[in-house]
Amino acid sequence: MKVYTFEGAPNPQRLAMFMRYKGIELNTEVVDMANREQLSDAYRAINPDATVPCLVLDDGEVISQVIGMCVYLEEVFPDKPLLGHDAKEKGQVFSWCHKLSNGLFLGIASVFRNRSKGFVDRALPGPLDLPQIPAMVERGMAQIHHHLPLLDERLAESTWLAGEHFTLADIDLLTAIGFLGWIKEPVPEELTHLHAWLVRAQAEVA
């Protein structure tokens, strides 16, 4: 297997933390997103989605979405499960991953890609060149400040997002909080449960 990655970016960070926690070591190749190598003909021949990371299996099959890579790797490397220990926890893991993707991640990405000069005409990842929409910045900030207190409420009643075990949902939230730094938006100090969780989660992937 081989992973194409650019570890400074959020989605590659999700996969990297997943693999590090489980002790998975794979052949990797860096795709230089800073110079838009993900849009090159050579890389798009491997992954037509023009996104990073992607996982190429031994038979040449390509998995281009992080959640799919994690499902595959969890099956091949079941030790230290990150997708849930039972049916209920698995349901919660995927539910929280989806909530984070459609909520906090989307809000941050909307601000970052529609405000940053480096993303003029690149407002969405992938092969399409799409213009920035300034109104998406304000909407993204509204999403961020709506979802952070909800996460704090969840972590007031649960050690980890999906229950009693550290999972991919926590990795996704860790990544999202790191992504907040890209738009210079801190986690509000009054969200004490979220801050306490952050200390625990960082220790898990250290």
Domains contained in the chain, number: 2
Which region, left, alpha or beta, applies to residue 79 given φ > 0 means left and ψ of -120 to 50 means alpha?
beta
Q: What is the pLDDT of residue 131?
A: 85
Q: What is the pLDDT of residue 8?
A: 87
- Give every CB contact of residue 9 below 8 A, 6+ residues apart in sequence: 33, 52
3-state secondary structure of 56: strand
pLDDT digits (tens, 9 = 90+) for 104-133: 999 999 998 898 777 777 767 777 777 888
Q: What is the pLDDT of residue 36?
A: 87
Same-domain check for residues 107 and 194? yes
Which of 30, 56, 76 is a domain's end point? Answer: 76
Same-domain check for residues 190 and 91? yes
Q: Which residues pair with 29 in a beta bridge?
A: 4
Domain limits for position 100 = 87-205
Which of 76, 100, 123 is a domain's end point? Answer: 76
Here the CATH number for the domain that contains residue 147 is 1.20.1050.10
Structure tokens at 183: 């738009």
Per DSSP, the chain holds a count of helices (H) and strands (E) of 8, 4
Name the DSSP class of 163.
Answer: B
Provide the pLDDT confidence category of residue 79 given band limits of 50, 70 and 90.
Answer: very high
Same-domain check for residues 69 and 107? no
Closest CA to 63 of 71, 37, 41: 71
